[in-house]
Amino acid sequence: MSFLTKFFKKESNENEATAKVSVDEFAMLIRVYYQSVIAINLGISNLNILQDLAMFKRVLKVPTHNNKIGIAERSRVIKILTQDYGLTPSFFTEIDNSIKKNCRSQQQIQPYFFQFQGFNTDLFSLMDKLMQTKFRAAMLFNKLLRSMTEKTVHDIFTKNDWKEKSIRNESANVRKYSQTLGLSEAWVTEYVYKILLLAKKEGKRKKDDKK
């Protein structure tokens, strides 16, 4: 059940909706949260500038609060990310502070999202290279996956003696992005862990569907 087919019909079927959480929908919701905060901070009224937010608002029929885009949408997406994905208030606080620091005008929106995209590309490229075969074992147990994620992210943030040049470069890029964006090691760990955990659930669900 996809986002566009109203995956979020929790009032009528809470258990089914929770079972269908996915990486794509999590990523979409994170973007919606970013865009909601940007809309609030910059007083944006043109939804064409923030397409994920516009789709979220349209699909879930979120009413505009006090003629200000972003307020009601932010509250709705926080509820979903908290209830279905287990995110905590501190996760959202870091995003709020990042946007406040780096996105102070409409001209900065696109460069800001380019930075976040670059951060994601290098981060998950590194996670793939560093976890490699250990990933399969970690995927069997949530606690093991969590501990391996924490260790790998910590290495990315602190280790300097990587043998491979590509890993050294990507590691340096992730640190630079995280510093610019104002995202802590703890935030990155939580973000990566949620995505890997969702990938694990999706993989199991696909296998079950084939049987």
The CA distance from 122 to 167, in Å, is: 9
Q: Is 65 helix (H, G, I), strand (E, B) or coil?
A: strand
Q: Using the predicted structure, report yes or no on whether residue 35 has a pLDDT greater than 60.
A: yes
136-184 residue pLDDT tens: 655 556 788 899 899 999 999 999 999 999 999 999 999 999 999 999 9
The closest alpha carbon to 95, from 151, 38, 42, 53, belongs to: 38
Q: What is the 3-state secondary structure (H, E, C) of 95-162?
A: HHHHHHHHCCCHHHHHHHHHHHHHHHHHHHHHHHHHHCCHHHHHCCCHHHHHHHHHHHHHHHHHCCCC
pLDDT of residue 132: 72
Answer with the residue of higher pLDDT: 135 or 48. 48
What confidence score (pLDDT) does residue 79 get?
A: 96
Q: Which of 72, 63, 87, 84 is nearest to 21 (CA)?
A: 84
pLDDT for 18 equals 43
Cα of first residue to Cα of last residue in the chain, in angstroms, is 19
Q: Decide if pLDDT at 6 tops 70.
A: no
Higher-pLDDT residue of 144 and 13 is 144
Q: What integer best gives the mean pLDDT of the chain?
A: 85
Higher confidence at residue 138 or residue 86? 86
Domain parsing of the chain, residue ranges: 1-87, 108-211
Tokens matching residue 46: 């043109």
Instruction: Please say if the pLDDT value at position 3 is more than 50.
Output: no
Residue scoring higher pLDDT (137 or 128)? 128
**Tens digits of per-residue pLDDT, 36-75?**
999 999 999 999 899 999 999 999 999 999 999 999 999 9
Q: Tell me the pTM.
A: 0.85
Looking at residue 3, its amino acid is F
- Which residue, 143, 157, 145, is CA-closest to 186? 157
Q: What is the pLDDT of residue 136?
A: 60
The reported pLDDT for the residue numbered 142 is: 75
Q: Are 167 and 101 in contact (CB under 8 A)?
A: no
